[in-house]
Amino acid sequence: MTALVRDPIRLPAGRSATAGAASLALRPALAAPRHPARVIAAFPAAVYLERHGGPEPRVVAVVACDAVRLPNAVVLGAACRDRPFRGVREGGEAWIGDGRVETEGLQIRIRRWWDPSPELGALGPAAFARGVHGLEQALHSTGGGTCGGTGGGLAGHPDPALLARLCAAGDLAGSVEAAERIVGLGPGLTPSGDDILAGLLVTLRLAGGALGEGGRGGGRAVWLAGWLGAAVTADAGTRTTALAATLLHCAAAGCAGAEVAAVLRGVAGHEPVVPAVRRLLAVGHTSGADLAAGVLAGCRAVLALGSATGRRASA
């Protein structure tokens, strides 16, 4: 069924559309005909728009250039100090499509695109192991801890750590059960359980893909990411917030926010890992720590699956 498109929101006299750079994850939604949406949250650094119906990603984040860059973001050239969202109100109507994002007080035309899937290149087992060790040291030195799977928002909860152990053991059924128990767990727009899962999923897929096949365990990690991603996104729309559900879908597809992508590139040896970890841990109240816990759990699982694959190959 074709969506009914009403008249476009009128631009104030003399006002032109602002240019934006959009994540490639949003290309299908932005290239489609204009579709109604609403503003589900508005902050000084970002606003979040939810499309009415249609496939994921259903939530589009519009962010200032110096804000956290989520994998579903349209990035403006304006900084937070410029107050680019001062005219946007929560609950207001919006439109997404035809290469534009429109709401009261904000008109954006997409001029450029950016890739939310970081290129890690081909990784060897030894180099990856060194990178994971560097990540552990960086987390320890920055106060992020090294406990795989237990994020800041769920400290003391048994399931994140259990999930990390089950993934490292390659236990698909157990991993799915543990993952499903933490979907939507925790307060906020992105509950801690979902942040942990997002970090885990994107790391299993991207680091596993970089290690590849050939007895390294990379293929096993990607396989695990596929099943876990399918399980936690199946009914995420009814179990967590709209934004968190979209971010889980993005992570399952291998799309990462800029701060997570920088940490993964650090593990791969493409940039210093300590500054990247510091930037990630600064995200939100506990989101950065939760995402870091998921990334570390994913890295450790990829390592463990590689070791198990190597033992089976030599047996």
Predicted local confidence at residue 314, as pLDDT:
44
Predicted local confidence at residue 213, as pLDDT:
53
Q: The pTM is what?
A: 0.90
Element (H, E) at 35: strand 35-42
Rounded to 5 degrees, what angle do the CA atoms 207, 54, 28 make? 55
- For 50, 166, 204, 212, 253, the CA distances from 304, given in Å and listed in that order, are 39, 11, 12, 14, 22
d(CA 75, CA 85): 12
User: Where are the extended beta strands (E) located within 91-179?
Assistant: 93-97, 100-103, 106-114
DSSP 2: P
- Residue (of 225, 227, 233, 226) closest to 249 by Cα position: 233
Question: pLDDT of the chain along its 315 residues, tens only?
Answer: 323 333 333 434 445 689 999 999 999 999 999 999 999 999 999 999 999 888 999 999 999 999 999 999 999 999 999 999 999 999 999 999 999 999 998 999 999 999 999 999 988 999 999 999 999 999 999 876 544 445 588 988 999 999 999 999 999 999 999 999 999 999 889 999 999 999 999 999 999 999 875 445 579 999 999 999 999 999 999 999 999 999 999 999 999 999 999 999 999 999 999 999 999 999 999 999 999 999 999 999 999 998 765 455 444
- Single-letter code of the amino acid located at 115: D
